[in-house]
Structure formats: structure tokens, C-alpha cells
Amino acid sequence: MRAVVVDDFTTPEALRVRETDAPSLAENEVRIEVRAAGCNFSDVLMLKGEYQVQPSFPFIPGGEVGGIIREIGSGVSQFEVGDRVLSRCALGGFAEQVASSESSTYRLPDAISFEAGAAIPTVYPTSYAALVWRAPIVAGETLLVHAAAGGVGLSAVQIGKALGARVIATAGGQEKLEIAKRAGADVLIDYREEDFVPRVLEETDGRGADVIYDSVGGDTTGRSLKCINWNGRLLVIGFASGTIPEIKMNRVLLKNISLVGLHWSAYPEKEPERIDECMEGLFEMAAAGRIEPLVSIRHPLEEAGDALAALASRKTVGKVVLVP
């Protein structure tokens, strides 16, 4: 089969496709013909050896796919050959086939395309767990979403609106802000043109945002603490800026702020029983039309490097997928 194979730490631009053996199938796994594979910032970090998970070489990146089951292991009971599915496969998604565990695979509703299915397993559970379980946000509260036009940011905007929040979105440029608006954002702030801190305070009558969804890190985190409400919750989602911030704890004390981390990739190990609950909640939102993944760019497998490079430079909006 054709796959993107990584033999050593590298950069996205150096990725190449080559022929390799199809993955072997364990008794609790299904073999999926990959119709679409989602790209994530974590893929870029993994290539560089900077991610929490560092697989042994060689490996095939790609942690989420949408496709069709072509073979099932002897211990699989929930699926049949021919089923449309999405799966959080952890590794191996940037290929024509992937073997994934039955427990991390879900039947894909007919109304959801393979590409949209490949856009769900990482960013939407991240935002669902953050806003439903970890913050949690209450209807009528104000949610500030940074990098609101990216894959994870758009999922936060949509889920925040579905939960009844008033959403303030920051993004770079009018094109990205328009995308956030279509996803449901109520207030738009172009961080390239204005400081988001005074604007957020203005839009909340001086109170600040109740929940701040921060996937950027760096200076954005410290400035966010200047426009967060009493009893506010700062959700630490990631560090797309490349800089892990240091927080002045006196600000946390003075406003009764909660700093809340969310590491969705750890749930299979730490709280596997909650994953089904999360996916069921997301499918209910999708069926009701309250969330809809935006797949903005589609690349063939051979352009995996271009896709990840654009993602790393924050030039993309919504979700980027590979189509083998």
C-alpha cells in the first residue's frame, strides 16, 4: 500500500510517500480503507519529536480517519465488512489502509461524509470535553475562543454556541473572521488590527469572558488573564504559537480564576469509559445540525508535507484532510 513513512525526526516538507506493507490485524482490530485522513498540529510536533507521544521509527503519522471497513479481527463484534466508520487510530492514518482498534472506531452516520468524519475524532472531542466536562460553560456565559478559524477553534465556536454561550472569536484577518462568524461567533476581533483585551472588556461591560479557550499559548495566555471574569475558567488546550507560557499566579488568585487543562489524547488511557459518552454527545449535536465540520482543504497523500506545513504556519482555516 502507499503511505507516508517517517524514518527519523524530520520536517513536514521532507515527507514522502512510498510503498510499504499493509498493517497486520489483531483480533480486536478492524482494517479500514482510508477515504480521508485528518491533519493536526500534533502531527507536526510528532515529526519533530516534540509531542508527548514519541513513536518508534519507522512510523506512519495520522491519528484520525474516515473510511470503509474491509476486514475485521476474530474478536470484533460491533462491525461488519462494508461499514462506514470514523476512527481515532493514533498512528497510521496517512496511508491507503490502517488497522485500528474496535474501541476507537465508530459507525459513521450516513449524513456525515468521510472527510467530515476524519475531521471529528480529535478537535471536536477536545472542545466537547473542554466545554462540557472541564470548564464547564453555562448557557448565557461569554466564551472567548482564540484562533477561532482553525480546526480546533471552529469546533469550540460551534460547541460553545450549541451550549448557549455568547462567543467572542479572535483570528487573523477578515477572511478567517468571516468563517468564525458563519460558525456562530457573535463578536469578531482581528488580533492583527486591535488588542483583544480592551475589546473583550468592552463587549462584556468590563467583566471579562467567563471561559477562555486558549489553543495558542505564548503571550496570548498572559493577556487573556487581563480580560477574564471573576470565577473565570482558562482552558489550556495547546501551544500553537510554539511557546509554553509562564503565568503570574497573583492574577489567578485575585480573580478566583481556574486554570483547566485538557489533554484529549490521554483519555483512552486515563478515562476510556468517557469516550463513548463524548462521541454520542457529538453525534447528537451533528444530527441536530448544531455542529458541522468545515473541511477547507483537501490534499492527495503525496502532498502531506504541504498540508502539514500550511497547518503549522497557521495559514489554514477549518480542517485539512488528506484523500488517499
The residue among 75, 65, 67 whose CA lies nearest residue 25 is 75
Q: Show the beta-strand stretches assigned E in 185-278.
A: 187-190, 209-214, 228-236, 258-261
Determine the pLDDT at residue 318.
85
For residues 322 and 63, the answer to whether their CB atoms sit within 8 Å is no
Contacts of 9 by beta carbon, 8 Å cutoff, 6+ apart: 47, 48, 49
Whole-number Å distance between alpha carbons of 153 and 294:
11
pLDDT digits (tens, 9 = 90+) for 136-181: 999 999 999 999 998 899 999 999 999 999 999 999 999 999 999 9
For residues 131 and 58, the answer to whether their CB atoms sit within 8 Å is no
Q: How far is CA 238 from CA 48, 214, 263, in A?
A: 16, 7, 9
Q: Which domains does the chain have, with CATH numbers?
A: 2-120+293-323 (3.90.180.10), 123-265 (3.40.50.720)
Angle, CA of 59, 273 and 152, to the nearest 5°: 55
For residues 121 and 38, the answer to whether their CB atoms sit within 8 Å is yes
Task: List the chain residues with pLDDT less than 50.
Answer: none
Whole-number Å distance between alpha carbons of 110 and 5:
32
26 by Cβ neighbours in 10 Å (0-12 / 13-18 / 19+) ranks as: middle
Which DSSP helix (H) or strand (E) runs through 196? Answer: helix 196-203
Whole-number Å distance between alpha carbons of 90 and 74:
21
Contacts of 213 by beta carbon, 8 Å cutoff, 6+ apart: 127, 130, 131, 143, 144, 145, 146, 153, 156, 160, 235, 237
pLDDT digits (tens, 9 = 90+) for 261-286: 999 989 988 999 999 999 999 999 99
Backbone angles phi, psi at 181, to 5 degrees: -65, -45
For residues 142 and 209, the answer to whether their CB atoms sit within 8 Å is yes
Determine the pLDDT at residue 274.
95
Q: Structure pTM?
A: 0.89
Whole-number Å distance between alpha carbons of 122 and 118:
9
* DSSP assignments along 7-53, one per residue: -SS--GGG--EEE-PPPP--TTEEEEEEEEEE--HHHHHHHHT-SS-
Can the peptide bond before residue 58 be classed as cis, meaning omega within 30 degrees of 0?
yes
Whole-number Å distance between alpha carbons of 167 and 141:
9
Determine the pLDDT at residue 52.
79
pLDDT digits (tens, 9 = 90+) for 77-87: 999 999 999 99
Angle, CA of 113, 214 and 192, to the nearest 5°: 95
Whole-number Å distance between alpha carbons of 208 and 232:
8
Beta strands 29-38 and 64-72, pairing class: antiparallel
Whole-number Å distance between alpha carbons of 269 and 104:
12
